[in-house]
Structure 1
Amino acid sequence: MLSTATMPHEVLSKLLLVDDLPENLFALEALVRGEGRQVFQAGSAEQALGLLLEHEFALALIDVQMPGMNGFELAEMMRGTERTRHIPLIFVSAAGREMNYAFKGYESGAVDFLQKPLDTHAVRSKVNVFVDLYRHRKALDREMQALAAAHRQQEELVQELRCAQAELERAVRMRDDFMSMVSHELRTPLHTLYLEAQVRKLHLDRGNLATFAPDRLAAMVARDQHQIRNMVRLIDDMLDVTRLRRGALSIQPKPADLADLARRVVDGMAQQAEAANAFIRLHVLPSEDTRVEGVWDAFRIEQVLTNLLTNAMRYGGGGQIEVSVALRDGMAELSVRDHGPGIAPEDQERIFEQFERSADGRQHAAGLGLGLYITREIVRRHGGDVMVESALGEGALFRVRLPRVPPEAEGGPRS
């Protein structure tokens, strides 16, 4: 069934009348014109060809005997052109009813042959038939186009649903992997604390108070603090990722000195570096007295450096870790270099995504794979960028560049 939008009576039908006598054209137009029709007149075959190039016709009524190019020759040309070969042709002739004229007309591709004087009822009936056929064909074409468009939309929707399903499956896998990692990472420090508590309770039950001598007690507290600090860091990372996803990570820029900030972080991580058989060395360029001032959220930038140093200690294989602070081209630059196994080129973008780690072939490293992702997002929210320069076997250099005044810093706290 045809839709309302493509009912045949709404299709404009163009009719072409070709005759070298104006009075014949006038009389023929009076017979064929009607609602939803547009009639074009041509006084010669040449003029008719021009109209055929400009319009799509439902029907052509052509006089056979015309000076110059006659009706049969015009029909031959129309049949030889893709644009016009399907237009129905009705020949009109005042010549006698010799059969060879009619046969020649049909051989030229005519669908009918009318003799003058014309039978009014016959002309109108034949024209109505071909106009109705044209209108139904055009309506059907439009319906087919609409169906094709609907099919394409359906295919696009199916493809979108497939992509959504794949993304959902990926999200579920990420969730499951994330929960597995969280369980594993939290279990390690909790298990260590639990075992420590069990051992201490055993000593207390046996009255072995020498185990809690001041020198030993200090070491116990340090171990407990280390495990608690690991758990707090894991929880903070999870909270930061949640805030980033909601666009609610608070950035509060204030005047700060990047060199002083770096010294605080390096000093605070000295014992952690020692435990990882590493040594952190800080360079402030051009001299140790240089101030690298700007407007930043000092807490978040400390978090950036802490993440980079933690990453260097986990994957750098021990040894020296170099931290540099400098001013270059009007930008503050903070870099961390390790001398570990390096990062393959194909991994250098991936490691900045959530839950990703460097694929260096070593055993499982602590952490959720969120540090570099959080680092990149914090730096971006300061209007800066972070990049890695590395090759396998040559260590890794993480370089952070920060504008000294982040975008919208003058607007106060941002999220």
Structure 2
Amino acid sequence: MLSKIETKLLIVDDTPENLVALDALIRGKDRIIYHASSGEEALGLLLQHEFALAILDVQMPGMNGFELAELMRGTEKTKNIPIVFVSAAGRELNYAFKGYETGAVDFLQKPLDVQAVMSKVAVFVDLYRQRQAIKIQVQALEQSRREQEALLSELRCAQEELKLAVRMRDDFMSIVSHELRTPLNGLILETQLRKLHLQNGNLQAFTPERLEIMTTRDERQINSLIRLIEDILDVSRIRTGKLSIRPAEVDLGVLVEHVLDSYSAQLAEAGCTLERDISEGVVGYWDAFRIEQVVINLLTNAMRYGAKQPVAVRVFADNDQAHVQVRDNGVGISVEDQARIFEQFERVNANHSAQGLGLGLFITEQIVTAHNGTIKLHSELGAGSTFEVILPLKQAESSEPVAAAQ
């Protein structure tokens, strides 16, 4: 590994012959030699490259070797580069002592000892390569540490998500068991009561009028069960991308009127009067079953949270778009809750004793999105809520299945 680390060496001498001679001595595999004939030229190279060693001639016109060394030691990028001085001056000038004062690691006298030069350069090259190898290892360790920290963070997030998923599953199962039990209990009690009447021979309990009431009540409980089961199935379809949309020509006003007529008894039971403003001729290409599901979900929410106040339903067209608005005058929704009510298993008002799995608005938004539409909410606490569905009137080019947003 060490031999493959590229090493740069700098020779500074104002005599070309000395540069060539020294280059020939220290050149080797994976070594790149740079020449500079002056201190100024050397500074330029020092700022561009990272050198393992700088060999400086002491006596040069202009900036001499000692002055260049002082500048190198005062610069952050070059202060740690080993410096070897070379000089032909006599020992009586005491250049070696001055060289060491400026931070040199060695001082060589001319004529140069070939073996000594080669050996010393090899030592500094090896030291540089070892430092670089350690640096690479440290960087690799640091990268590994960062990756491990990132992985640990991901594992923590996954653990929290798993805890949340388990908690949501438990809450969901609790809600499902409660919601399914309510209509089932009604049916069980009705069945037991009828069985008791039959055992006692009380046939007066089965007059046509009473049978009609019983049948209506049974039908309502059964429809509640069907809706709960369909909501659960729809969530599964959305998650697997199998909630397909089959558009056909639909008169939106007629569809909404049909839903309102079907739910008139439930509205009356909830104590909500109904205000209608249904425009004629709002015709587009949608999946009638799914759009009916959207209207039912919004109407059901309005009844649940409408505080026995009037519920207003409006249908109209504007700028190639169809609008369905369902407004109640009930408890309203806080700004904080508005950000999450279209999520799975969320209730419009967690403190309200309303029934439901918390799936209606989630499914509604997914259906509307599948029709390239949008759903908006305008609400204030204590001032009621208005849900507005906006659908394109133009025929969709395709009906691809829609998958739930993750």
Which TM-score bucket, shorter chain as reference?
A: over 0.9
Counterpart Cα distance in 1 of 2:92 and 2:378: 93
Cα distance between partner residues in 2 of 1:250 and 1:16: 72
Map 1:211-226; keep pairs closer than 5 Å.
Answer: 211-226=205-220
Alignment of 1:22-101 (within 5 A): 22-98=16-92, 100-101=94-95
3-state SS of paired residue (1:255): strand
> What is the alpha-carbon distance in structure 1 between the residues aligned to residue 20 and residue 331 of structure 2?
93
Q: Is the 8 A contact 1:296 1:405 kept in 2?
A: no
Match of 1:174 in 2: 168
Deviations 1:356-379 (A, max 9, x none): 0123633x2111011100100000
Distance apart, 1:265 and its partner CA: 0.7
Contact 1:253–1:413 (Cα < 8 Å) also in 2: no
Measured against aligned partners, the alpha-carbon deviations of 1:36-87 in whole angstroms (never above 9, x if no partner) come to 1111111111111111111111101101111111110000000000000010
Q: Distance in 2 between matches of 1:353 and 1:26?
A: 77
Q: C-alpha displacement at 1:342, in angstroms?
A: 0.8
> Secondary structure of 1:352's match?
coil
Same amino acid, percent of matched pairs: 59
| Aligned mates of 2:104, 2:401 — CA distance in 1 | 79
Q: Residues 17 and 40 of structure 1 are in contact (CA less than 8 Å); yes or no, is this contact kept in structure 2?
A: yes
1:250 equivalenced with 2:244 (yes/no)? yes
Corresponding residue for residue 126 of structure 2: 132
DSSP 3-state at the match of 1:411: coil
Deviation of residue 108 (structure 1)? 0.2
Give the equivalent residue in structure 2 for 1:3. none
Name which of structure 1's ranges 107-116 and 155-164 shifts more when overlaid on structure 2: 155-164
2:135 pairs with 1:111: no
* Gap change, CA 1:309 and 1:213, over 3 Å in 2: same
Where does residue 326 of structure 2 map in the other structure?
A: 336
Task: Pick one of 117, 120, 134 that aligns with 2:114.
Answer: 120
Q: Is the 2:248–2:288 contact (alpha carbons within 8 Å) kept by the matching residues of 1? A: yes
Matched, 1:8 2:2: yes
Give the corresponding residue for 1:205: 199
Deviation digits for residues 365-395 of structure 1, max 9, x if unmatched? 1110111001000000000010110111111
- Look up the match of 2:377: 388
Task: Return the alpha-carbon distance in structure 2 between the equivalents of residues 330 and 216 of structure 1.
Answer: 50
Q: Is the 8 A contact 1:273 1:280 kept in 2?
A: yes
Counterpart residue type for residue 16 of structure 1: L
Q: Give, in whole Å, the separation in 2 of the partners of 1:77 and 1:35.
A: 30
| Contact 1:270-1:279 within 8 A present in 2 as well | no
- Which residue of structure 2 aligns with residue 298 of structure 1? 288
Residues 141, 305 of structure 1: alpha-carbon distance in 2 compared, 3 angstrom cutoff: same
Deviation at 1:413, TM superposition (A): 6.7
Of 237-246 and 341-350, deviating more is: 341-350
In structure 2, what is the Cα distance between the partners aligned to 1:414 and 1:142?
51
Amino acid at match of 1:101: Y
Which residue number corresponds to residue 397 of structure 2? 410
Paired with 2:341 and 2:128, the residues of 1 have a C-alpha distance of: 64
Could you tell me how far 1:414 is from its partner in structure 2? 4.5
In 1, are the aligned partners of 2:320 and 2:394 still within 8 Å (CA)? no
- Distance in 2 between the 1:357 and 1:365 partners? 8
Contact 2:244 2:399 in 1 (8 A): no
The verdict on how the C-alpha distance between 1:412 and 1:125 changes in structure 2, with shifts beyond 3 A counting, is closer
Assess if the C-alpha contact under 8 Å between 2:53 and 2:82 holds in 1. yes
How far apart are residue 13 of structure 1 and its match?
0.8
What secondary structure, in the 3-state scheme, does the structure 2 residue paired with 1:25 have? helix
Shift of 1:166: 1.1
Instruction: Please give the secondary structure, in 1, of the residue aligned with 2:91.
Output: coil
Over 3 Å counting, the alpha-carbon distance change for 1:413 and 1:159 in structure 2 is closer
SS at match of 2:341: helix
Structure 1 SS opposite 2:28: coil
User: Which digits, 9 at most, give the CA deviation of each residue in 1:197-241, with x for residues without a partner?
Assistant: 111111111111111111111111111111111111100100111
Contact 2:241-2:401 at 8 Å conserved across structures? no
Q: Following the alignment from structure 1 to structure 2, what is the Cα–Cα distance between the partners of residues 344 and 291?
A: 36
Matched AA of 1:308? L
Deviations 1:308-337 (A, max 9, x none): 000000111122111100111221000100
Uncovered stretches (5+) of structure 2, i.e. residues with no partner: none
**Aligned position for 2:177:** 183
Contact 1:18-1:25 at 8 Å conserved across structures: yes
Residue 194 of structure 1 is matched in structure 2 by 188
* Cα separation, partners in 2 of 1:47 and 1:410, compared to 1, 3 Å: closer
The answer to whether 1:317 aligns with 2:307 is: yes
TM-score (norm 2): 0.97
The one-letter code of the counterpart of 1:239 is: L
Give SS of 2:336's match. helix
1:306 alignment partner AA: I
Code of the residue aligned with 2:390 in structure 1: it is R
Q: CA contact under 8 A between 1:343 and 1:360: conserved in structure 2? A: no
- Residue identity matched to 2:319: D
Q: What is the CA distance between 1:33 and its match in structure 2?
A: 0.7
**Distance in 2 (alpha carbons) for counterparts of 1:280 and 1:80:** 86
Distance 1:360 1:394 in 2: 17
| Deviation of the 1:116 alpha carbon | 0.5
> Structure 1: 5+ residue runs without aligned partners?
1-6
Q: Map Cα deviations across residues 105-154 of structure 1 (whole Å, 9 max, x no partner).
A: 00100000000110000000000000011111111111111111111111
Q: Do the aligned residues in 1 keep the contact of 2:329 with 2:385 (CA within 8 Å)?
A: yes
- Alignment CA distance shift 1:311-1:27 (3 Å): same
TM-score by length of 1: 0.95
**Contact 1:89 1:109 (C-alpha < 8 Å) held by counterparts:** yes
User: Which residue matches 1:102?
Assistant: 96
